[in-house]
Amino acid sequence: MQTTLTPDRKVTILRSTSLFAGLTETELLRLAGLGRLLHLEPKEALFFRGDPGDCLYIVVEGVVRIGSVSAEGHEVTLNLMTAGQMFGEIAMLDGSERTADASALDRVALLALHRRHLLEFLARSPEACMRLLGTLCDRLRWISGLLEDAHFLDIPARLAKRVVMLGFLFGTTDAQARTHVSLRLSQQDLASHIGATRESVNKLLRKWQDEGIITYEHGHLVIIDKQRLTDLFEPVSA
């Protein structure tokens, strides 16, 4: 069954984002009327690198993978966007090409706002322009962090950091303090997150299972010892 959005729910979704949080009810209702609801099936592409950047998207339900593919066919996952998060703002602003691919990991619902409507809105709202700058700065810090990880962390540290992040974003904790990751990712998916091969990820996950750091239940990753993973990418204080 596909998601439907009432005007009030659209307003709630817009208000939950950093960009639109400070708008008046009248402004939010106007933008809500301009937003289009889109649905994607699992693995369905929303756009590809090089496509025209004519919309900003807000995730309503599901998870969107932002990534890129090299000329040799190697996939890299840059980010995972979940409910309440925005993406597509860079190409939307300058009207240029998309800088990465976007596709659905599972069933996804999106609220899409067209560039023309957003530029008209931003022209009348200096406060929103400043908030958008803050969003872009956050995005740059994220990309900078990925570059630092690629240069300064080895593969075990990169994988451990990503597993801990997945636990933070998609995890629930049980009575034994184990974190169950609801998002199902293949070993190839994890490899694309850290710029490694599936074989190296498989070897590390098996090692961590043998050591009692992680396990799998019903195909889902379970983090048993988060601290041991954290110690792999954060220096221990003296």
More confident residue, 124 or 202: 202
The angle at the Cα of 20, spanning 67 to 95, to the nearest 5 degrees, equals 50
| CA–CA distance, 62 with 41 (Å, rounded to integer) | 10
Name the least confident of 27-31, 41-45, 225-229: 27-31
Distance between CA 35 and CA 51 in Å, rounded? 20
Mean pLDDT of all residues in 59-77: 86
pLDDT (0 to 100) of residue 68: 87
Position 228 pLDDT exceeds 90: yes
Q: Which of 54, 110, 50, 55 has the alpha carbon at shortest distance from 81?
A: 110
Residues 53, 91: contact at Cβ < 8 Å? yes
No. of H helices and E strands in the chain?
9, 12
Q: Evaluate if residue 24 carries a pLDDT over 90.
A: no
| Mean pLDDT, residues 12-33 | 86
Topology match between the domains 7-151 and 153-233: no
In 3D space, the residue among 159, 194, 164, 182 whose CA is nearest the CA of residue 62 turns out to be 182
> Residue 236 gets which letter from DSSP?
P
**What average pLDDT score do residues 182-203 get?**
91
102-139 pLDDT tens trace: 999 999 999 999 998 888 888 887 887 888 888 888 87
DSSP 113: E
Q: What share of the chain in percent tops pLDDT 70?
A: 97
pLDDT at 225: 96
**In the predicted model, what is the mean pLDDT of the chain?**
89
- The whole-angstrom separation of Cα 124 and Cα 35 is 18
- Tokens of residue 60, six digits: 């309503």
Residue type, position 3, single letter = T
pLDDT digits (tens, 9 = 90+) for 137-181: 887 887 788 778 888 899 999 999 999 999 998 999 999 999 999
Q: Higher pLDDT residue, 235 or 190?
A: 190
Q: Which CATH class is domain 7-151?
A: mainly beta
**Domain map (residue ranges) of the chain:** 7-151, 153-233
pLDDT at 236: 53
pLDDT greater than 80 at residue 235 = no
Task: Please report, to the nearest 10 degrees, the dihedral formed by the alpha carbons of residues 143, 46, 1, 117 taken in order.
Answer: 90
Name, in order, each residue with C-beta under 8 angstroms of 81's C-beta and a sequence gap of 6 or more: 59, 63, 64, 65, 66, 87
Return the pLDDT at 238.
Answer: 42
CATH class of 153-233: mainly alpha
Report the predicted TM-score, pTM, of the whole model to 2 decimal places: 0.80
How is residue 227 written in tokens?
A: 């601290």
